[in-house]
Amino acid sequence: MCITQHIGITIGGVIMSKTTVITFNNPSGVRPELIIVHGGRAHMDDYLAAGLARHLWEVPIERRDPAEEELEDPKIIVLDVGGRLEPEKNNFDHHQIAETEECALQLYMKEVLPDFYEKMSEDLDDGRMSSIKSIGLWDNVGPKSRHLGAQGPSDFEYFLTEMFSRDPNGLAIDIVTEYWDFRIKQLLAGDILEEKIKITPPGHTYIIPGGHLVVILDNVDNDEYEDYEPLPIMKAWAKVAGFKKEPHISVIPNPRGEGWSITRRGAEVPNFNEIKDDPRIDFVHSKGFLCTTHERLPIEDVLELCEFAYINLHKGGIR
């Protein structure tokens, strides 16, 4: 179901959860009947923009240049072609704007879903540029945008845009509309998760010898978290708790087994190969950054294993 069906509106409104409101604008004030994007080789900006518009309105897509009268018709959304930026007429092109690093996707999203646009534009936790900004830079500057921090399209993205080029109403557009549905729901669910964490923390933090921070999700069997996977919980918890330093080790229920999954985060140590012969260990990744246990061990045992991994690495073993 598209967003506009879900919230039952035509001219605008809000998509909301208990803690999050996503403003939805329809600048034309009428329900669109058609989406037009440029012909020829499709790119990620027009593909994603068309997918978002399709998700909002569930109308057909045509890949061609618009006629002059179509640019004047607000019932037709024109994306990445036409030489006009006129939101009130549903025209969203950027090629006529000399000084811009924004693409049609950004112009359209910023107008119709401004709150969602702000969230999608935030840089990643590790400092990398957001995919939205990266797509805009690549579309406006080309390959040299890599020097500005942009990421070029992957082989899979090339494949999707080629599919869209051949059939704008086929499988590729189904995939991208599902993507937008997922991202919007993810945003709503993420903020709900943060509120849950404020009330019921999902675990505990521990410091092992050497000052190393270990974060353990040992409370996620609580009913509050039954609809969430461990990794999103960990990320949200770090944001809510405001950890003063990046955890050295994270411990979550193993999604593939009955025990714990213990992961080194960023640092070069510990190397869990140092404890691979411990009978409590089920699996150790060959690169040493991850291990799992046979069963959900007591927290004391988990901390002991983490400590042994450090000590064995630095002192040649204690057993």
Tens-digit pLDDT profile for residues 257-310? 889 999 987 666 678 998 999 999 999 999 899 999 999 999 999 999 988 887
Whole-number Å distance between alpha carbons of 15 and 21: 6
Answer for the pair 169, 61: CB distance below 8 angstroms, yes or no. Answer: yes
- My answer on whether 297 and 244 are in the same domain is yes
Please tell me the chain's helix, strand, coil percentages from 3-state DSSP, rounded to the nearest 5: 45, 15, 40
- My answer on whether 206 and 222 are in the same domain is yes
- My answer on whether 180 and 237 are in the same domain is no
H helices of the chain, in order, are 3-7, 44-57, 68-71, 104-112, 114-121, 131-141, 155-166, 171-199, 230-241, 299-315
* More confident: 150 or 9: 150
**Overall number of domains in the chain:** 2
To the question of pTM greater than 0.85 for the whole model, the response is no
- My answer on whether 16 and 148 are in the same domain is yes
- My answer on whether 104 and 79 are in the same domain is yes
- My answer on whether 294 and 179 are in the same domain is no
* Burial class, 245, CB count within 10 angstroms (exposed 0-12 / middle 13-18 / buried 19+): exposed
Read off the pLDDT band of 239 (50, 70, 90).
Answer: confident
User: What are the backbone dihedrals phi and psi of residue 23, each rounded to the nearest 5 degrees, phi first?
Assistant: -70, 135
Range of the domain at 126: 3-193
What percent of the chain has pLDDT above 90?
Answer: 45
- My answer on whether 251 and 187 are in the same domain is no
Q: Given this model, what pLDDT does residue 164 score? A: 97
- My answer on whether 26 and 164 are in the same domain is yes
Whole-number Å distance between alpha carbons of 245 and 234: 14
Whole-number Å distance between alpha carbons of 255 and 158: 32
- My answer on whether 103 and 8 are in the same domain is yes
Whole-number Å distance between alpha carbons of 204 and 142: 46
**Domain finish residue from 142, 174, 193:** 193
CA–CA distances in Å: residue 92 to residues 55, 114, 196, 313: 17, 15, 39, 58
pLDDT tens digits, 64-97: 999 999 999 999 999 999 999 999 999 999 988 8
- My answer on whether 180 and 255 are in the same domain is no
Read off the pLDDT band of 175 (50, 70, 90).
Answer: very high
- My answer on whether 33 and 49 are in the same domain is yes
**Domain finish residue from 193, 208, 234:** 193
